[in-house]
Every structure is written in C-alpha cells, then in structure tokens.
Amino acid sequence: MSQPTYTYSGGINAGVSGEMMDAHSKIKAELIALEADLQASLKTWQTPTSKQQYELAKQRWNAAADTMPQSLQIASTSLDNITHAMNKTEDAVTDSWS
C-alpha cells in the first residue's frame, strides 16, 4: 500500500484563517437577527416559566458565542504556525537540492 501524498498551500491556509475569524462576526449577526425576529413570537407564548427557560437558554448560547473568538483565534494561530513550519520545511528541502 502506498503512502498518500499531502499537499498544502500557504495562500489557502491564510485565507482559511481569515474566514475563521469572519465566522464569529457572521454567527453573532445571525443570533442578533434571530433574536429580533423571535421577539414578536415570544410575546405570544411566553409564560413566566417559559420566559425563564428561554432566558437561561439564551444566556448559554450567548456565552458559547462569546467564547468563539478565543477558540477561533487559537485555531487561526495554530494554522498560521503550521503553515510557517511547512514553508520552513519546504524551503529547507528545496535548499538541500541546491
């Protein structure tokens, strides 16, 4: 069985890093839009109990969304570090043929 060939593109990796950071902004915007759309509907079905349950759930998803920038930054930094290491290795291999 032969080993697979792996390739990478530093340019693609840089683009992915940027897209990961944009993802948080898009998700937050969607949550804000969802909340705005939901407000009219909430008034028709909320009881004191359901309102409390909704608010607790909303706090959980807002807290999760608030942690996303840190996770995305860590992932983006990791991808940048991997790309740097791959570029350095590629340069070393290329230089060894000189």
Nearest-angstrom CA–CA distance, 31 and 64: 12
Domain ranges of the chain: 47-89
> Which of 1 and 98 is assigned the larger pLDDT?
98
Residue 40, pLDDT > 80, answer no
Nearest-angstrom CA–CA distance, 72 and 23: 8
The three-state secondary structure class of 7 is coil
Mean pLDDT (whole number) for 14-28: 82
The predicted pLDDT at position 6 comes to 75
pTM: 0.61
Q: For the segment 42-86, what is each residue's pLDDT rounded down to a tens digit? A: 777 778 788 888 889 889 988 988 888 888 889 888 888 988 998
